[in-house]
Amino acid sequence: MSELPLLSVQGLNKSFGELNVLKDINFNLEEFETIAVIGHSGCGKTTLLRIICAFEDADSGTVMLDGARHRRPDKDALMLFQSFDQLQPWRTVLGNIVYPLLATKAIKDRKEAKRLALKRIADVGLTDFADAYPHTLSGGMKQRAAVARALALAPRVLLMDEPFASLDNITRSMLQTLTLRVCEKYGISMLVVTHSVEEAVVMADKIIVMDRKPGRIKKILTNPVKYAPVEQRAVFTAEVLGLLGSLEE
């Protein structure tokens, strides 16, 4: 493991006009680690992800990935969105995964790209739907396919912007567990933005609690109960909810 953090965000500031969205954001994401970012609506969570992914520029500060400035979108820091419409509707599940592998030249041989795509499809439990088109899939299945596509590109960091928020509780819980399992299997770190404290406690090794007005980090919590029984997670969840409740609306 490198002595440098996998992802380092230092002194990040962002304003839209007179509105301070992010102010002096500092944290590190280590290899094989998952961090959740929680906070009230409007505290800058999604803007933070978009800057890390290089979809937007910060006013000041740095984003370092593997010790180098991360200035443009690439497959090393991939973003997974909440929308169910992330797949190309004219391609099958298999085609949606093979295409970016070839387009980014992550793999140049079509047979090898198909082999890898089928492996990732199996990882998310969609083997029987490899030849299905997105309009025939449920919301949860579409998200599983989107996860498989992201994992096939082997990102260093998977950035997730409330990817399970629109799903029912049972499907959401299943996808939380599945995504964690597959990312741990392939050594992919995650930065997850969520409104759900329960989701943060289930998925994350650390939890960043965002303050508001302007968007600062209120506290970074180490999660001691990620793999603990439900009863123990409930106690820590209540503590985090209490901290959120103490922040100004």
Give me the pLDDT at residue 131, please.
Answer: 95
DSSP code per residue over 52-74 = HTTSS--SEEEEEETTEE--S--
Give me the pLDDT at residue 1, please.
Answer: 47
Residues in contact with 168: Cβ distance below 8 Å, sequence separation at least 6, in sequence order: 140
Residue with the larger pLDDT of the pair 35 and 228:
35
Tokens of 245: 């409740």
The three-point CA angle 62-66-72 to 5° equals 55
Whether the model clears a pTM of 0.85, i.e. scores above it, the answer is yes
Q: What single-letter DSSP state applies at residue 33? A: -
* pLDDT for 249 beyond 60: no
Q: How confident is the model at residue 188 (pLDDT cuts 50, 70, 90)?
A: very high
Residues in contact with 203: Cβ distance below 8 Å, sequence separation at least 6, in sequence order: 34, 36, 176, 179, 180, 190, 192, 226
The predicted model gives 207-233 an average pLDDT of 88
Q: What is the mean pLDDT of the chain?
A: 89
Helices 139-152 and 110-123 cross at an angle (nearest 10°) of: 130
**What pLDDT, in 10s, does the model give residues 91-106?**
999 999 999 999 888 8
What is the CATH T-level fold of the domain 1-76+157-249, as seen in this structure?
Rossmann fold (3.40.50)
* pLDDT for 247 beyond 80: no
**What pLDDT, in 10s, does the model give residues 151-173?**
899 899 999 998 888 788 888 88
Cα-Cα end-to-end distance for the chain = 41
Give me the pLDDT at residue 28, please.
Answer: 96
* pLDDT for 205 beyond 90: yes
Give me the pLDDT at residue 174, please.
Answer: 86
Give me the pLDDT at residue 248, please.
Answer: 59
Cα dist from 185 to 151, 179, 189, 195, whole Å: 11, 10, 11, 26
Give me the pLDDT at residue 106, please.
Answer: 80
Q: Rounded distance, CA 197 to CA 97, Å?
A: 31
Contact 77, 150 (CB under 8 A): no
Contact 49, 78 (CB under 8 A): no
Q: Rounded distance, CA 64 to CA 14, Å?
A: 17
* pLDDT for 62 beyond 90: yes
Q: Rounded distance, CA 215 to CA 59, Å?
A: 14
Domain boundaries, the chain: 1-76+157-249, 86-154
* 78 backbone dihedrals φ, ψ, rounded to 5°: -95, 145
**What pLDDT, in 10s, does the model give residues 141-156?**
998 899 899 989 989 9
Q: Alpha carbon 206 to chain centroid distance?
A: 14
**What pLDDT, in 10s, does the model give residues 27-61?**
999 999 999 999 888 888 999 999 999 999 999 99
- Find, among 187, 158, 227, the residue nearest to 1 by Cα: 187
- Find, among 207, 212, 248, the residue nearest to 44 by Cα: 212
Q: How confident is the model at residue 127 (pLDDT cuts 50, 70, 90)?
A: very high
Share of the chain above pLDDT 70, in %: 98
Contact 96, 87 (CB under 8 A): yes
